[in-house]
Amino acid sequence: MKILVTGGLGFIGSNFIIKILNEYPKYKITNIDGLLPGSNLDNLQEINKNKNYKFIKGNIQNQKLVDKLVSKNDIVINFAAESHVDRSITNPKPFIDSNIIGAYTILESVRKLKKKLIQISTDEVFGSLKKPFSANENYNLNPSSPYSSSKASAELLVNSYHITYDLHTTITRCTNNFGPRQFPEKLIPKVIMLAEKNQKIPVYGSGKNIRDWIYVDDHCDAILQVLHKGKPGESYNIAGSNEITNNSIIKNILKLMGKSSDLMKYVPDRLGHDFRYSLDSKKIVNKLKWKPAHNFEEGLENTIEWYLKNEKWWKKISRKSIGT
């Protein structure tokens, strides 16, 4: 199988590429990445010499380039996205460009060349949910930030191309990922790195906002199940079933690192900060026989260990994101 991965130098995309080349050594992967914020060439340094891996520097809004790459592959898996909510509030335009126009460009190539597409989306498209409700695949989209709105818009485009042009498209939505190679602006790596340097850790508002967390390798495994077994026109929610407050996440990390919770510093809440995201993933569990292989504690220990062992990696890029 020949797979075009977009945004493969990002956190989830890079973990997916490493996993698929390890588990399916006959598959060929082409990775197009624009080296925008969140991308890091070092993420895939270990496979640069793999004969089944090829990297192309390019923007997914370049129709001519995307057409050329799509024509040489069987399926596109679109990880490429601007994904940081804070930055989308400060400047929404890059999110519109990458997440909507970029998705449109890919869809046009897929349509013209009659290829397949998996669109990687997010639980944030459903907006904030009250306990104990979890959104299933049929729940109405209700995004509340420029980021989540751009991802919801991409979903609607993908669905419309499936209905109108009978394209083989699927959509996956996942809860908060964590694990190796995550950009330092995100909560868990940011806490690990600040705690290691005994610096204050900013906590938005009361710290009681709730997210469901999934170890990135489990998310990648779910995408593989969709790749091999997913049905066209369907969407699949992927959850880790680990709903935890930001306060608890930070305190767990500090405890595992032997640090004091005094490092926590509460700061004013961000604009439009959704209180809780939650996905019902019974469909992928029942239909595609997927389930997470890692519990939260195991995944968190693995993540902390990876960052402490790869201090050179995060020091190199943290200056670009959190100023450490």
Q: Domain containing 86: what range?
A: 2-181+215-241+273-294
Long-range CB contact pairs, 256-262, < 8 A, 24+: 256/300, 256/301, 256/304, 257/192, 257/195, 257/196, 257/304, 259/195, 259/198
* Structural domains of the chain, count: 1
322 pLDDT band, cuts 50/70/90, is very low
- The pLDDT of 45-66, averaged and rounded, is 96
Determine which one of 33, 82, 124, 218 is catalytic: 124
CB-based burial label for 319 (10 Å; 0-12, 13-18, 19+): exposed
101 within domain boundaries: yes
108 pLDDT band, cuts 50/70/90, is very high
* 268-310 per-position pLDDT tens digit: 998 888 999 999 999 999 999 999 999 999 999 999 999 999 8
Res 271: pLDDT: 84
Tokens 């767990």 -> residue: 252
227 within domain boundaries: yes
262 is catalytic: no
Q: Are the C-beta atoms of 70 and 32 separated by less than 8 Å?
A: no
| pLDDT over threshold 80, residue 315 | no
59 within domain boundaries: yes
Phi, psi of 93 (to 5 degrees): -55, -45
With residue 200 as reference, give the H or E element that holds it. none
Spatial separation of the C-alpha atoms in residues 153 and 151, rounded to whole Å: 5
302 within domain boundaries: no
Spatial separation of the C-alpha atoms in residues 210 and 212, rounded to whole Å: 7
Q: Are the C-beta atoms of 288 and 226 separated by less than 8 Å?
A: yes
Determine which one of 123, 155, 218, 221 is catalytic: 123
- The pLDDT of 126-150, averaged and rounded, is 96
Q: pTM to 2 decimals?
A: 0.94
130 within domain boundaries: yes
Helices (runs of H) and strands (runs of E) counted in the chain: 12, 12
Determine which one of 147, 161, 215, 236 is catalytic: 147
301 is catalytic: no
Q: What CATH number corresponds to the domain at position 160?
A: 3.40.50.720
Spatial separation of the C-alpha atoms in residues 299 and 287, rounded to whole Å: 25
Spatial separation of the C-alpha atoms in residues 5 and 228, rounded to whole Å: 15
- DSSP label at 97? I
187 within domain boundaries: no
* 184-232 per-position pLDDT tens digit: 889 999 999 999 999 999 999 999 999 999 999 999 999 999 999 999 9
196 is catalytic: no
Res 318: pLDDT: 62
266 within domain boundaries: no
- The pLDDT of 172-185, averaged and rounded, is 94
Q: Which of 192, 164, 153 is nearest to 299 (CA)?
A: 192
Q: Which of 128, 185, 115, 127 is nearest to 152 (CA)?
A: 127
* 69-85 per-position pLDDT tens digit: 999 999 999 999 988 78
